[in-house]
Structure 1
């Protein structure tokens, strides 16, 4: 009982003096000349983090939809849950790039960066419907990335961010175009199978995604 009393007393004292005991370091006064991203370019990059997270949430909703016992398409669920993980990685890569360029320095900036993204939908009529939604989503994500590239190499800014433009082109656009082609192929194959065999065609195609 004595130990409990002492522990409780220590907790109360810690709570009272928490602010006083908090380590507060002075500003480092680091030079800012190395931060060369223009404001429009930075804003577009931050917006893209939210776009990627929204895509991740949408794919997560798709995966959950196909995992339901009333739908039971484990292949589609696996495919979309893996896609959700990829989109989260994209958001993380964008955040890491912004950190590298010195554009995320406070917790307030992080709070604004992740603005409660929600899935664009939560149910789909069948596999073809979900794949078409995914292709539409990826097309919009690609368009947003191209907008960033256009903004960051805009001559009116008097600063062409060659490094960022090359990075987005090599690391993001290439993957986006390949992903879009993959989805288009899946839609084509599944549509033909369902036209000939209906729900059985979807069931059989689902097995190829496992």
Structure 2
């Protein structure tokens, strides 16, 4: 089957090369645009959210790398933050897939990732400090998603209510955000109490529990 596909692709290239100076080009399909109903402000803010999610993933990667250092050696926290980075990356994928489903992202796709891929910082004084930063980061992401919902529910330049997207973000994204924020707040509370009672040993013991998925 792969050979057959390659053969037909070769035929297309050969036929195109005859009339277009050895360039393999295909004429874009003539697809009706009546089904494309997303309004421009909603498209733009969704594209920006892709960058927000990837920037969050980069921050979590920096956290995971910090706690993985031999001089820090907190494998539990490293594992936790690397997993958080994967979740944020998956969120970016979901938004891209949604826009594709709605017929968007047909042009200028590379521009979505043309921004500084650099976390705001690369080291933390303690695990509590990193968890606090993570909670602040999640709150910002949540606020960004709520802004999308506001924009797409009542866009200023149109009377189109994108109820499907609003329902999708409310059900799939916001609930996960709120649960994640509550989880981080609980971890900050518990770890803070352990460090008050046991000092640095509290962080060490908490890290072992994280590594074993006991928290």
Q: TM-score range by the shorter chain?
A: 0.7 to 0.9
Correspondence list, 1:71-150, <5 A:
71-106=72-107, 109-116=108-115, 117-150=117-150
TM-score (norm 2): 0.86
8 Å CA contact retained: 2:145, 2:169 = yes
Unaligned ranges ≥5, structure 1: 1-16
Aligned length: 191
Q: Distance in 2 between matches of 1:53 and 1:198?
A: 34
Q: Which residue of 1 aligns with 2:153?
A: 153
After TM superposition, the structure 1 stretch with the greater mean CA deviation from structure 2, 68-77 or 114-123, is 114-123
Correspondence list, 1:165-180, <5 A:
165-180=166-181
Q: Distance in 2 between matches of 1:35 and 1:205?
A: 51
Structural RMSD (CA): 1.4
Deviation at 1:118, TM superposition (A): 2.0
TM-score (norm 1): 0.88
Correspondence list, 1:171-190, <5 A:
171-190=172-191
Q: Which residue of 1 aligns with 2:194?
A: 193
Deviation at 1:115, TM superposition (A): 2.3
Structure 1 segments (4+ residues) deviating >6 Å = none
Q: Distance in 1 between matches of 2:22 and 2:121?
A: 47
Deviation at 1:27, TM superposition (A): 2.1
8 Å CA contact retained: 1:153, 1:161 = yes
